[in-house]
Amino acid sequence: MREAYNVELDNLRDQLADMAALVGEAMELATRSLLEKDLKLAEQVISDDVKVDDARAACEEKAYALLALQAPVATDLRIVVAALHAAESIERMGDLALHVAKAARRRHPNAVLPEEVRPAFARMGEVDVRLAHKLEEVVRSRDIEAAKSLEADDDEVDDIHRNLFSVIMSKDWAHGVSAAVDITLLGRFYERYADHAVSVARRVMFVITGRMPNHSSSDI
């Protein structure tokens, strides 16, 4: 019985890791659709979002079944509770990639991004995708040092996001209010995506140590 139960816990972990892979691909394609004005890629991200929603539902169903049927305690209970929180955060990452793709579709065939901010969004997209890939590995391995390493990538996204405000508030900004609003919202999507990845990594640390790392406002 215990062996079968451990298999179920491992399956739950693998489902979460697979979700991280899905949202990493979603953000990669969404960023390309934004930078390349590629409507087909935007539509793919939008239509594929249901896969992330279904994956969350499957994770939650398994977690609730384990709670009801196995009454886990100690580390096992932490695994199941952390999985419920993680599934929600990873699904939210998928939603944020979806928002990016919808912005690209809404402005098509026009470009959403003025030339001077394109490198910033290209870099934020690159780092967000890297975070998702790291998160996938962290969920599978439960490597506490790897989990901690996500913080540095999140800091980089935060720095780029803050710098965007200086660009759009500059007296040299020549693209109007509408473009500034688009950039503000898009920058927030990328920043929150990174924040959610870190939040899940902290849940993994909680499973390993039994202690929840200090939270910042970005985890809310």
Mean pLDDT is lowest, of 33-42, 69-78, 200-209, 210-219, for 210-219
The pLDDT assigned to 217 comes to: 41
Task: List the domain range (segments joined by +) for residue 211.
Answer: 2-219
Distances (CA, A) of 13 to 19, 75, 81, 176, 214: 10, 14, 12, 46, 23
Q: Give the pLDDT mean for 129-158.
A: 96
The pLDDT assigned to 74 comes to: 80
The pLDDT assigned to 214 comes to: 65
The pLDDT assigned to 154 comes to: 97
Terminal-to-terminal C-alpha distance of the chain: 38
Give 86-95 pLDDT, tens digit per residue.
999 999 999 9
**212 pLDDT higher than 80:** no
CATH number of the domain within which 62 lies: 1.20.58.220
Q: What's the domain count of the chain?
A: 1
Give 156-167 pLDDT, tens digit per residue.
999 999 999 999
